[in-house]
Amino acid sequence: MKLLPIIIPLVLITLTKCNSSDNSRSTKEPIFIPAETAENYFQNGNEALKDKKYSQALEWYKKAIRKSPKSEGIYINMALAYYYLKKYKTAINYFNHAIRINKNNDTAYFNKGLVYQRMHKYKNAIRSFTKAIRYNPTSAIAYFHRGLIFLEYLKQYNRSIKDFTKVIKLNAFLKDIYYYRGLTYFLLKDCSRSIQDFTRHISLSKRNNEQTYTMRAKCYSSQMDFQNALKDIQKAIQINPENIDHYYTRGLIYFILKKCEGIKDLQKYLNEKKIISKKQKDLIQKIISILKKQCK
């Protein structure tokens, strides 16, 4: 099942977090930077990073490090630059360096988790997100990404539900949180809760909800509520009339409801679907034949 794409929101360290050599100090407190030149280099590096000039950003950060070698924020942003250059192992090393300076730095753990996620090292990512949560229990984004890994890669759906629910309890309106929890409930065959979450996602989201309507239609179908399933798949078709799979789904619903419109939808699917197995093709042709007899 295709999930919505995941956006990797790496966290950039700002100027107020450039320098810290006191591990007991909260990472959320403003930190005094004794070397003005280190701050200037750091700022120049951040500007280059925002402009996607990653190699140039690294040169600035290296100059900053020479002036302020115990600045965890500089190491974190160096790691980000290496990440964008797709040098993932080097990025991990720099996140670890920041953590050695301040073991309570939840930002470093969170970003490291995202890099491990990109490297498909999901258990390592889980450990990093868990550390981020330990040092910042209100980090909704860490719960969210850990929940995504439990859902999509480790198939640990109950743990995924727990993390997504925590995000909601933290009142963090993260993009698609209700969609993902609804999807997880669907995979757990709890369609009543799944429908509630899909409905909530549709009410909160301002963009098109083609996938949400499609999934809610599947839930309604599993509950034998074909009228509501039909309404949802029609919404999905209105949003994206080019998705040929929607016509197949609607055709099957029409068939169950003994409606002649199913002939047109299923024939369209046969004519336009590029790859279709002989078994599925034979089944669709049989359904079309039955509908034609009913509609005489």
**In the predicted structure, residue 24 carries a pLDDT above the cut 90:** no
Identify whether the C-beta of residue 114 lies closer than 8 Å to the C-beta of residue 101. no
**In the predicted structure, residue 18 carries a pLDDT above the cut 70:** no
Q: How far apart are CA 230 and CA 226, in angstroms?
A: 6
Give the SS3 label for residue 225. Answer: coil
The pLDDT assigned to 7 comes to 34
The pLDDT assigned to 69 comes to 94
- Ramachandran assignment for 52, one of left (phi > 0), alpha (psi -120 to 50 degrees), beta (any other): left
Nearest to 150 by CA among 133, 166, 163: 163
Q: How far apart are CA 266 and CA 248, in angstroms?
A: 6
Identify whether the C-beta of residue 105 lies closer than 8 Å to the C-beta of residue 125. no
Identify whether the C-beta of residue 81 lies closer than 8 Å to the C-beta of residue 57. yes
Summarised one tens digit per residue, pLDDT across range 39-95 is 999 999 999 999 999 999 999 999 999 999 999 999 999 999 999 999 999 999 999
The pLDDT assigned to 106 comes to 96
Summarised one tens digit per residue, pLDDT across range 136-195 is 999 999 999 999 999 999 999 999 999 999 999 998 778 799 999 999 999 999 999 999
Summarised one tens digit per residue, pLDDT across range 186-237 is 999 999 999 999 999 999 987 889 999 999 999 999 999 999 999 999 999 9
**In the predicted structure, residue 110 carries a pLDDT above the cut 90:** yes
The pLDDT assigned to 296 comes to 82
**In the predicted structure, residue 19 carries a pLDDT above the cut 70:** no
What is the residue type of 274? K
Summarised one tens digit per residue, pLDDT across range 246-288 is 999 999 999 999 999 999 999 999 999 999 999 999 999 999 9
Under the banding of pLDDT at 50, 70 and 90, the label for residue 9 is low
The 8-class DSSP code of residue 190 comes to -
Computed over every residue of the chain, the mean pLDDT equals 89
Q: How far apart are CA 108 and CA 215, in angstroms?
A: 36
- pLDDT mean over 13-29: 44
Under the banding of pLDDT at 50, 70 and 90, the label for residue 13 is low
Q: How far apart are CA 260 and CA 14, in angstroms?
A: 62
